[in-house]
Homo-oligomer: A and B are copies of this chain.
């Protein structure tokens, strides 16, 4: 282990501490990364730092779907070719990017900014559920695309209770065996659900 007093340079120590504050980056990795950055040309280091620095002011949130955006409205909400009557509710920006990458969805999104998790101190008021409820009245379908764990199910149920009276269709992602999954290695909950929700075979 490397004691904090052993850093030969204050600038290096500061950088290692900053990088080591990132999730999943230990002090050893932080040192490795800092030394890697240090080996770059000053121009590259400045560009790197500027790219990170720009996160402080260069990123806005879409006023409609709460997604990250360059301006007041995100590219998806501003796109008139998208189906603005279908709204897909996701936990985070990463989920939007994952769904967009499938190319299978043409509606708009709503980013909750988290998931209801009492153990982490996240309640409904910490999320953008209020804004979602306001948006829902004009929509025909709300897809609850949250993760399949307890917190995701809880959040889905909470949102469902908030919007069920608004008259729009509420759906959720299909759950079952993944494509290419082997039965032997599937967990029994998933396998059980995929038997219960079995679908007509289309050859």
The answer to whether B52 and A37 touch across the interface, beta carbons within 8 angstroms, is yes
The answer to whether A96 and B36 touch across the interface, beta carbons within 8 angstroms, is no
Binding site for B on A (CB under 8 A): 1-3, 6-12, 14-15, 17-19, 21-25, 29, 31-38, 42, 45-60, 62, 67-70, 74-76, 92-94, 96-98, 100-101
The answer to whether A59 and B12 touch across the interface, beta carbons within 8 angstroms, is yes
* Minimal Cβ-Cβ distance residue in B for A5: B100
The answer to whether A1 and B33 touch across the interface, beta carbons within 8 angstroms, is no
Assuming the A-B contacts A18-B51, A52-B37, are A6 and B59 also in contact, with contact meaning beta carbons closer than 8 angstroms in the complex?
Answer: no
Bound-complex Cα distance A37 to B48 (A): 14
9 A-B pairs within 8 Å (CB atoms) are namely A2-B97, A6-B101, A9-B68, A18-B47, A23-B36, A24-B32, A49-B49, A49-B53, A53-B53
Bound-complex Cα distance A106 to B22 (A): 34
Assuming the A-B contacts A23-B33, A96-B8, are A46 and B53 also in contact, with contact meaning beta carbons closer than 8 angstroms in the complex?
Answer: yes
Bound-complex Cα distance A173 to B2 (A): 19
The answer to whether B46 and A14 touch across the interface, beta carbons within 8 angstroms, is no
Contact partners of A46 in chain B: CB under 8 A: 53, 56
- Pick the contact of A15 from B31, B52, B75, B76 — CB < 8 Å? B52
Assuming the A-B contacts A8-B69, A69-B9, are A55 and B59 also in contact, with contact meaning beta carbons closer than 8 angstroms in the complex?
Answer: no
Bound-complex Cα distance A22 to B33 (A): 7
Nearest CB of B to A133, in Å: 23
Contact partners of A51 in chain B: CB under 8 A: 11, 14-15, 17-18
Bound-complex Cα distance A96 to B3 (A): 12
The answer to whether B47 and A55 touch across the interface, beta carbons within 8 angstroms, is no
Contact partners of A3 in chain B: CB under 8 A: 100-101
The answer to whether A70 and B23 touch across the interface, beta carbons within 8 angstroms, is no
The 3 lowest CB-CB distance pairs between A and B, nearest first, are A11-B58, A49-B53, A18-B51
Contact partners of A94 in chain B: CB under 8 A: 2, 31-32, 35
